[in-house]
Structure formats: C-alpha cells, structure tokens
Amino acid sequence: MDFDQILAKCGDFNRYQFMILALFGFINIIVSMHYFTQTVISFVPDHWCYHDKLVNMTYKEIGEIYAQFEKPSCTRLEDINGHNVTVSSKPCEKWIYNYDFGYRSMNTELNWVCDSAYKARIGQSLFFIGSVVGTLFYGLLSDKIGRVPALILSNFCGFAGDFSTIFTKSVATFTLCRFISGLAADTNFYLMYIIVLEYIRPSMRTLGLNMAVGLFYCMGLVFTPWLAVLVGHWQIYLACTSLPILLVVLYYFVVQESAQWLVTRNDIDGAIVRLKRVAKFNGCRVTQADFDEFRRHCQMTREMQGGDDKKQATLLDMFKTPRMRKNTLILFFKSMVITLCYDAVSRNVEGMGISPFIMFSLSALAVLPSSILLVLLQDRIGRKGMASGSLLVGGLFTAAAGIAIAYQQHSQNAILLACLTIAARFGVAISYESGSQYATELIPTCVRGQGVAAVHVAGFAASFLAPYILWLGTFFKAAPSIILGVLFFAGSFVCLLLPETLNRSLPTTIEEGEVFGKGERMFDFPCLHNKHDDEESDSEMEKYKRKHSLIDAKQMQMESFSNGKRKPSLIDADREEQALKDAKH
C-alpha cells in the first residue's frame, strides 16, 4: 500500500484538507502584502520643486508652470512672475507633493525623489538578493528539519524585516532591513504550497490550490493599496501588514509535518503518527493492519533502493541522470521567464495617467479569473498543455501590448494602457500559477524542498534583469514588451519537452524521477487521448512502482511461508509469473 492509497483511507479531501487550504489562504494574503510592500511604501505622487510663491497655488496651476520643462519634478526655480520663471542652477532640496488619497509614502517623507530616487531602488535590489539567499537556505533547511519549522522561521524573517523597516531613516539601515525581509520571499509561500499538495487528493490539487491562490492572493493584492490609503502613512501600513505574520507560529500546532518527507527520511513511525492524526481529524477509521501494510511497503522500497546505507538525495543528484537533468534545466528556464515577466508587469503601475493605487488594484483583479481558468482547463488539457499554452497566450498579450503602446508615440490613452496592462497581467498570472504546481509535482519528494527552492532562486535571479529590460523602453517603447514576448514563446516551447503529471502518482525518489514520463512525446496531451488510449498507455514510473509492489507482495508471501502458515504451491508460482509478465507488458 503506497502513500496515495493510505492517504485515501485517512481522507484526502476532507475536513483536514479544508482546514489547511484555509490556512494556505491566509498565507496567500500575508505573502501578497509582504511581496509588494516595497512597491506600496515607495509610491511617488506628482511632485514639484518647492518655491515660496507656489504655496498658495493649486496643484493644477503648479503643474502648468512646470509643464514647460523637460524634468518638471526636479527643476528648481529662482523666481516666479506669473508664467515667466527663472530657472535656478541649484538642485532641489524640498518638494511639493500632490498626495494620492492623502497617503504619505516613505519616498515622499524622506524625499527620496529625483537625484535620491536610487536609494529606494537599492533597497529593492537587496530584497531580491535576500530572496535568493533565503530561498536556497530555507529550501535546504526544509529538507533537513521539515517543512513546517522552515515555514515558520521563514515567515518570522519576513516579519522582522518589514517591522524593522519602520524605524529606518538611512540608506544603510533601509537596505539591511529589506535584505532581511527578502529572506522570506518566496519560501513563506511555497513551503505551505508543498504541504497542501502532498496531503490532498491528486484529482483535487488543481481546484484546491489554484482557487486558494486565486481568491486569497487576489484579495490580498486588491486590499493592499487601500489599506495604505486607510492608514495614510507608510510606517503604520508596515505595522499593519507585518504583525499578522506572527500568527503563522500557530501553524506548528495544527499543520501536520509532511508524511511523505518523513518517509524519505526513514521516519516511517513519524509518518504514520501524522497520518493517524489526519484520519482522526477527518473522522476516518483506518485499521492498524492498513498502517502495517504501508510500513512494510516503505521498508521494502527503502531496502530495494539501498537501505539505511544509501546517501540522502541532494539537489546535485537531480543533475546526475540525463532525463532528470533535462527536466530540471527546463524548470529553471521556465521559472526565469515567468518570474521576470511577472515582476516587470506587476510593478509597472506608475506613469500611466492613473493613480498607482487604482492601477495596482485593477491589475490584481486578473489573478482570480486566471485561477478560475486554471481550474476549468488544467485538469482537462493537462499540466504540460496548460504551462505551454499559458506562456504562449502571455507572450501574445505582452507583445501585442508593446506594439500598441509604440503606436501611441507622444499621446497616451490611460484606459487603453490600463486594459493592455491587465491583459498582460492575466496571461502572466496563469503562467505563474500553473508553473508553481507543475514544478512542485515534477520534482521528487526526497529533494522537493531543495528543488523547488532552486527553481524559485533561478526565477528571482532573472528578475534582476527586469529594470534593465524596462529601461530599454526609453529608446524604443515596444522593446521591453517584445523582448518579454520572445521569452514567453521560448518558455512555451521548452515546456512541451516536460512529462505530464496529471492524475499520476508523483515521483518520491531520484530513480522514480528519472523514469517518470519516459516514452512520452512532445505533443502527448491527456485531452487528445481517448479512454482506450489511456488504458493502454502506462508510464515507466508506474511500471517501476508496480514491479516493486509485486516484489513486496512476493516477499510478504515468502515470509508467511517461512512462518509455517502454508507452503508455496505451483499455483502461487504460476500467479507470480503471470503477474510479472503483465507488469512487463
């Protein structure tokens, strides 16, 4: 009896699964706020260099005076006589801000604008550096001490970084705090994602995971800018978004450690204890004989894989065999493409003629429809088809948006820009959500924490290029979108080289990962197969597991023979021989 079978007896879509999905939803809310905190505290409204004669003027009148200059926000005036002004050669030291909805951001309070605007960008860069370090560290830690402790430690790091940012006044302390905050991204999300995925029925993973992300992540994104407006100040906003993170500590008492991970650590007793708790919470009765059968299966599988003397699998083992190496490199490239495009599109909410608060919320609304579309389609066309198709659609949206923007030249249509941005965000959101589930399912359990961490690190590393790609727009407006579109198309193609994971037992070891999906062709999609084809087709990993199950049964039978229960007969031998032939065919 393998893990999926014993989990089905304990309940694989019952009260416990509903509870951890709700807890995963809370994680999505705090993660959405945490990830975009830097964006919200750095919003810069329309601003102009301060002059005594401008104090009693309206913002419209001030804007008309400065409109004649190439850099109206950073031009200092010596004297003002109506519309006749004299420009000063001195740099600005004080500004007049037209606060959006009265919200005072960090950049406006510390005057990090014009020549000092780079200070906030340094903090953002350190946040991404922290995310690379933290993702690697907590990914390795999760495979050493467990998913739940690593999840709690990661979120505590996020709290410490965000809360300490409140008291920063200098670039040095600000960048240090942002680095600490970045240590939590993205492990504060995907570790809980792994736990939920491993405890939920395979056929319900798409519905449960994507609806939790769609509803709660979207809710957090839409609410985030208006929380800032409600409190009115960036420091109070940081306190309101960071303090709820401490509630994740309570997960230690209600979320069960990954039973599959415990099995890979040879802690079968610990895995059974967790499964018994899940069964009790779900109100399911599972006999001790069922757990004993699961224990024997784990022991036999481990003995056939080298027993206790076998070295624990590491991230490097994913590169030692040809098929695992190919799949891992493809997952890396796909993550780089998706994260780079997602970050570039999501953060590009200023300078469009619409309040960044409104633009941020409007673009966030694309997350929920993308999740609904995933639920409707991903279990029909498969993971591979959804990953490739969503990247293709995202590429078309992004490239089309760039071309349309290029034709606007000097005049900007705010509504058109908003629609194109939302459309691009919709395509990127589909790619991001489908890619997260696909990578988590494809990487074997024994290195899932490290593997998923490495995939996310590759994505964060690529996101460093986002500002430079966007900077190319100063030379040709369509350049950033066209470049991102080409990357989307390349990602769509390489996804076709990955194996399908829909409705299949996920690999738990490197050996199973190597044979997983062997024999599949590039355009093999579940939606193109009829029932007869599905019955005839069988992956190499399923044959591998079935063969091991037969060996387990044979060894258990021989144990019963040796205990004197009955002697083996010719009928037993014939049955075993026929079963092995069936497995071969």
The model's pTM is 0.76
Q: In the prediction, which pLDDT does 565 show?
A: 44
Does residue 566 carry a pLDDT above 90?
no
The two structure tokens encoding residue 163: 């809360």
CATH of the domain spanning 315-529: 1.20.1250.20
Query: Three-class SS of residue 498?
Result: coil
Segments in 413-496 forming alpha helices (H): 414-442, 448-463, 466-471, 479-495
Alpha carbon of residue 549 to chain centroid: 35
**Cα 73 to Cα 64: distance, rounded to the nearest angstrom:** 12
Average pLDDT of 490-500?
A: 91
Find the angle CA(234)-CA(432)-CA(335) to the nearest 5 degrees. 105
- pLDDT reported for residue 293: 94
Expressed in percent and rounded to 5, the helix, strand and coil fractions of the chain are 75, 5, 25
Give, as one character, the DSSP assignment of residue 284.
Answer: -
Closest CA to 119 of 169, 49, 182: 169
pLDDT-based confidence at residue 549 (cuts at 50, 70, 90): low
- Residue 413 contacts residue 469 (beta carbons within 8 Å): no
Least confident of 321-325, 430-434, 509-513, 575-579: 575-579
CB 123 within 8 A of CB 175: yes
Residues 23, 251: contact at Cβ < 8 Å? yes
- What six digits make up the tokens of 172? 């040095």
3-state secondary structure of 98: strand
Nearest in space to 498 (alpha carbons), one of 433, 438, 432: 438
Round to whole Å and give the CA distance between 452 and 465.
Answer: 21
Q: What is the pLDDT of residues 90-138, one digit of tens each?
A: 888 899 999 999 999 999 999 998 888 888 888 888 888 898 899 889 9
Task: Give the list of residues 6+ apart from residue 23 with CB closer than 8 angstroms, or none.
Answer: 192, 251, 254, 255
Q: Where are the domains of the chain?
A: 1-48+70-303, 315-529, 539-563
- Label residue 453 exposed, middle or buried (CB < 10 Å: 0-12, 13-18, 19+): buried
Rounded Cα gap, residues 83 and 68, in angstroms: 10
Check residues 492 and 468 and name the one with the higher pLDDT: 492
Which pLDDT band holds residue 328 (cuts at 50, 70, 90)? very high
What does the block give as tokens for 268? 């079968």
- Of 256 and 542, the structure prediction assigns the larger pLDDT to 256
> SS3 letters for 304-319?
HCCHHHCCCCCHHHHH
Question: Is the model's pLDDT at 562 over the cut of 50?
Answer: no
Residue in 461, 533, 584, 507 with CA at minimum distance from that of residue 129: 461
Portion of the chain with pLDDT greater than 90, in percent: 34
Residue bearing tokens 């409707």: 376
Whole-angstrom distance, CA of residue 139 vs CA of residue 527 = 34
Three-point CA angle 157, 163, 169, nearest 5°:
120
Structure tokens at 10: 């304990």
DSSP state of 89: S
- Per the CB < 8 A criterion, the answer to whether 455 and 335 are in contact is yes
With vertex at residue 239, the alpha carbon angle to CA 339 and CA 348, rounded to the nearest 5 degrees, is 30
What's the CA gap between 131 and 298, in Å, rounded?
36
Nearest to 538 by CA among 506, 507, 504: 504
293-307 mean pLDDT: 83
pLDDT band at 540 (very low <50, low <70, confident <90, very high): low
Strand partners, 104: 233
The model's pLDDT over 193-248, given as tens digits with 9 standing for 90+, comes to 989 988 999 888 878 888 898 899 999 999 999 999 999 999 999 999 999 999 99
Domains 1-48+70-303 and 315-529 share a fold: yes
> Could you tell me how many helices (H) and strands (E) the chain has, helices first?
27, 4
70 Cβ contact list (under 8 Å, min separation 6): none
Confidence (pLDDT) at 349: 59
Q: What CATH number has the domain spanning 1-48+70-303?
A: 1.20.1250.20
